[in-house]
């Protein structure tokens, strides 16, 4: 099923994100995660694409397995930086044969040991990937990434939203947001993108902070602002993982309850492959 149809038919679309095993690592753990996620019936499950395409085969195989073995609608992440058109076309034909209908079209980030000038990429931005796929086929429903606090490289939030509009006009039919911890910033972002004429549905990206030590990595990746109440929770439970997880779940649940009250079109949970977190959060917040 195309994810755009799910948004059309559901009030609050609930999705979960997982990552595939590293190349050569066992798949058992992630398959258990998928089985457990199935019990809470997410509307779709997205599978990340390792930086620089390092998990390409794992991402493709897992996405196909989620659809054909577990009967859950999958969304495959696909990045285009450092990639040739022929490689993208080969991937599209592989996933088409596997029955995949949905792709999150992303630029990706350059690995630390490469530089933009030396690689022979056919794509500069996610927009190029969306346009390339759409110029070939209408078989896939394409999602794109949005950044409530602006993408870290963007000159301004307004410029970044203009680029989001470009992606949506080229064929991006829904948006999944970067993680944020302050709902007010998300509401302001939604107002701005609607003012600028972007009409496609937007899912709010929610990251449960279940370990204090992970937070700095999350912030480094997302550049999300930390509200004072979350900072004090993290300081309080820095050395107590059990209490940190409880408090992190509570924080995420409150965020989601408020988002639902405000009528958001979707909640996208970064599960970090922890189905137990997704189960608790979806049940406590009334999503499931
Ligand atoms: P783009 O939309 O291309 O934007 C990148 C930057 O370029 C922005 O600053 C934008 O404003 C600017 N820009 C865009 N178009 C133009 C233009 N025409 N002219 C000038 N500037 C322009 N990464 C992975 O490697 N694997 C994943 O699985 C993955 N999943 C993600 C899931 C979500 C929900 C999100 C929010 C991000 C994910 N990322 C993933 C990270 C993403 O790849 C990075 O944030 C990357 O830096 C930007 O990707 P993008 O698709 O948003 O790029």
The owner of tokens 């910033």 is 185
Nearest CA to ligand 1 atom 24: 108
Q: How many whole angstroms from 39 Cα to the centroid of ligand 1?
A: 32
Render pLDDT for 134-162 as a digit per residue (tens, 0 to 9): 999 999 999 999 999 999 999 999 999 99
Task: Give the per-residue pLDDT at 188.
Answer: 98
3-state secondary structure of 269: strand
The ligand 1 atom nearest the CA atom of 222: 45
Task: Give the per-residue pLDDT at 52.
Answer: 81
Rounded Cα–Cα distance for residues 95 and 97 (Å): 5
Q: How many whole angstroms from 81 Cα to the centroid of ligand 1?
A: 10
With contact defined as beta carbons under 8 Å apart, do 278 and 246 qualify? no
> Catalytic: which of 17, 73, 101, 265?
17
Average pLDDT of the chain is 95
97-123: average pLDDT: 84
Render pLDDT for 222-246 as a digit per residue (tens, 0 to 9): 999 999 999 999 999 999 999 999 9
120 or 194, higher pLDDT: 194
Which of 78, 103, 108, 192, when mutated, tests ligand 1's pocket best, judged by the most ligand atoms within 8 Å of its CB?
108
165-173: average pLDDT: 98
Measure the CA angle with vertex 136, ends 131 and 142; round to 5°: 50
pLDDT-based confidence at 216, cuts 50/70/90?
confident
Q: How many whole angstroms from 26 Cα to the centroid of ligand 1?
A: 29
Rounded Cα–Cα distance for residues 243 and 234 (Å): 10
pLDDT-based confidence at 118, cuts 50/70/90?
low
Q: Angle, nearest 10°, between helix axes 56-68 and 85-97?
A: 20
For the record, the structure tokens of 185 come out as 């910033």
Question: By C-alpha distance, which of 56, 65, 59, 80 is closest to 34?
Answer: 65
Residue 17 annotated in active site:
yes
Residue 105 has pLDDT above 70, yes or no: yes
Task: Give the per-residue pLDDT at 198.
Answer: 98
Task: Give the per-residue pLDDT at 181.
Answer: 98
Residue 51 has pLDDT above 90, yes or no: no
Q: How many whole angstroms from 86 Cα to the centroid of ligand 1?
A: 21
Rounded Cα–Cα distance for residues 251 and 254 (Å): 5
Which of 15, 114, 151, when mutated, tests ligand 1's pocket best, judged by the most ligand atoms within 8 Å of its CB?
151
From the number of C-beta atoms within 10 Å of its C-beta (0-12, 13-18, 19+), residue 90 rates as: exposed
Rounded Cα–Cα distance for residues 58 and 64 (Å): 10
Pocket of ligand 1 (CB under 6 A): 48-49, 51, 77, 79, 106-109, 125-127, 145, 151, 153-154, 159-160, 163, 167, 176, 178, 205
Q: How many residues does the chain have?
A: 288
Task: Give the per-residue pLDDT at 228.
Answer: 95
Residue 117 has pLDDT above 70, yes or no: no
Nearest CA to ligand 1 atom 23: 108
Which of 46, 80, 125, 207, when mutated, tests ligand 1's pocket best, judged by the most ligand atoms within 8 Å of its CB?
125
Residue 81 has pLDDT above 80, yes or no: yes
Task: Give the per-residue pLDDT at 7.
Answer: 98
Residue 187 has pLDDT above 80, yes or no: yes
Task: Give the per-residue pLDDT at 115.
Answer: 61
Portion of the chain with pLDDT greater than 70, in percent: 98
């Amino acid at each position: 099923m195309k994810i755009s149809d799910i948004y059309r038919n559901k009030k609050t679309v609930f999705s979960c994100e997982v990552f595939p095993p590293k190349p050569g690592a066992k798949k058992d753990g992630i398959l258990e995660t998928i089985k457990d996620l199935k019990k809470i019936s997410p509307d779709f499950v997205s599978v990340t694409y390792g930086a620089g395409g390092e998990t390409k085969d794992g991402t493709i195989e897992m996405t196909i397995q989620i659809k054909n073995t577990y009967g859950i609608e999958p969304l495959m992440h696909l990045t285009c930086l450092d990639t040739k058109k022929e490689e993208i076309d080969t991937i599209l034909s592989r996933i088409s044969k596997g029955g995949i209908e949905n792709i999150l079209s992303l630029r990706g980030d350059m690995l630390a040991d490469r530089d933009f000038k030396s690689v022979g990429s056919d794509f500069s931005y996610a927009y190029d990937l969306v346009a390339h796929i759409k110029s070939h086929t209408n078989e896939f429903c394409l999602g794109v990434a949005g950044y409530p606090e602006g993408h870290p490289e963007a000159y301004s939030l307004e410029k970044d939203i203009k680029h989001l509009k470009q992606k949506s006009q080229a064929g991006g039919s829904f948006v999944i947001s970067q993680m944020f911890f302050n709902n007010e910033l998300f509401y302001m972002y939604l107002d701005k993108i609607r003012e600028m004429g972007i009409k496609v549905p937007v899912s709010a990206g929610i990251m449960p902070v279940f370990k204090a030590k992970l937070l700095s990595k999350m912030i480094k990746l997302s550049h999300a602002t930390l509200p004072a109440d979350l900072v004090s929770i993290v300081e309080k439970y820095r050395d107590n993982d059990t209490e940190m997880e409880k408090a992190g779940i509570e924080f995420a649940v409150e965020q989601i309850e408020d988002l639902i009250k405000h009528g958001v079109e979707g909640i996208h949970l970064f599960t970090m492959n922890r189905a137990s977190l997704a189960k608790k959060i979806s049940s406590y917040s009334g999503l499931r």
